[in-house]
Amino acid sequence: MNTDYGTIKHNGKTIILDEHAVQTSRLMNEYGSDLQYQGDGETYMDEWAARGHTESGEQVRVYWHFEIEKEDSAGTRKHDGVYFFDTLPENFDWDNVHGVKDD
């Protein structure tokens, strides 16, 4: 069984990931309607999360937000930081953590 899911640095702390990140499917109300999956923009925000722990044993949940270009508007990159709709998760910038919360 593979138990090496990697580590990340966030706010000076090293966090050891306990699992692979998965999509949360959460409605992301903190973004406007132009960045919702069913919204009126050309991109949408996608949230991923994974459980982890700090070196001192504190249990946390790590969150990543990625901006994804909608399939029907694909063709040219809208701006830096936007991923094409068919980008594989292993090509996301996993070092760019959106936030960490106590679990």
Q: What pLDDT is stored for residue 70 in this prediction? A: 85
In total, how many domains does the chain have?
Answer: 1
In this structure, what are the phi and psi dihedrals at residue 30, rounded to the nearest 5 degrees?
Answer: -70, -10
How does pLDDT run along the chain (103 residues), one tens digit per residue? Answer: 457 899 999 999 999 999 999 999 898 989 999 899 888 888 899 999 999 999 999 999 999 999 998 876 656 666 667 898 889 999 999 999 999 999 8
Neighbours of 37 (CB within 10 A): 14
> Residue 47: which residues within 8 A CB-CB, separation 6 or more?
23, 24, 26, 28, 63, 64, 65, 98
Give me the domain span that covers residue 44: 7-102
Nearest by Cα to 49 from 29, 87, 23: 23
Give the whole-angstrom CA distance, residue 13 versus residue 47: 22
**Which residues lie closer than 8 Å to 59 by C-beta, 6 or more apart?**
51, 52, 53, 102, 103
Within a domain: 2: no
Answer whether residue 32 is part of any domain: yes
